[in-house]
């Protein structure tokens, strides 16, 4: 009976490790496929925010929504990329990428604080 329980637990451990590894690879592939879309949307949001800043309308709701979106995207990217950086992975460009997302998040939060509540 003990050997049966041990074999079941090792089987569950084996299956769970492979499922987690598969899900991790799937998420990596999805992220790589979606990254060009994120970059193009981020660029459009930045252009619209620049236009709103030139007109002095950053306090209006569409610009607040864009700032919240950039802040959320930055926070999400930093939450995903920080463990990769801390584990020593990610390559030489990861700190620069994290810096860009950090700056984008900081500017968006400054815009939200300066121009009214979120």
How confident is the model over 68-88, as pLDDT tens digits?
Answer: 988 998 898 888 888 888 888
The larger pLDDT score, comparing residue 42 to residue 11, is at: 42
Residue 117: the pLDDT is 46
Mean of the pLDDT values across residues 60-66? 88
pLDDT tops 80 at residue 114: yes
Count of beta carbons in the 10 Å neighbourhood of residue 16: 10
Considering only CA atoms, which of 60, 30, 63 is closest in space to residue 46? 63
Domain extents in the chain: 36-114
Take residue 22 and report the two structure tokens written for it: 């598969």
pTM: 0.63
Question: In whole angstroms, what is the distance from residue 118 CA to residue 111 CA?
Answer: 10
């Amino acid at each position: 009976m003990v050997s049966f329980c041990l074999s079941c637990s090792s089987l569950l451990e084996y299956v769970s490790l492979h499922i987690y590894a598969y899900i991790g690879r799937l998420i990596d592939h999805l992220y790589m496929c979606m990254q060009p879309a994120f970059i193009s949307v981020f660029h459009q949001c930045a252009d619209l925010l620049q236009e709103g800043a030139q007109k002095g309308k950053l306090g209006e709701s569409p610009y607040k929504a864009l700032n919240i979106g950039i802040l959320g995207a930055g926070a999400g990217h930093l939450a995903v990329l920080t463990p990769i950086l801390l584990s020593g992975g990610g390559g030489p460009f990861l700190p620069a990428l994290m810096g860009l997302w950090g700056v984008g998040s900081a500017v968006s939060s400054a815009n939200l604080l300066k121009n009214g509540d979120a």
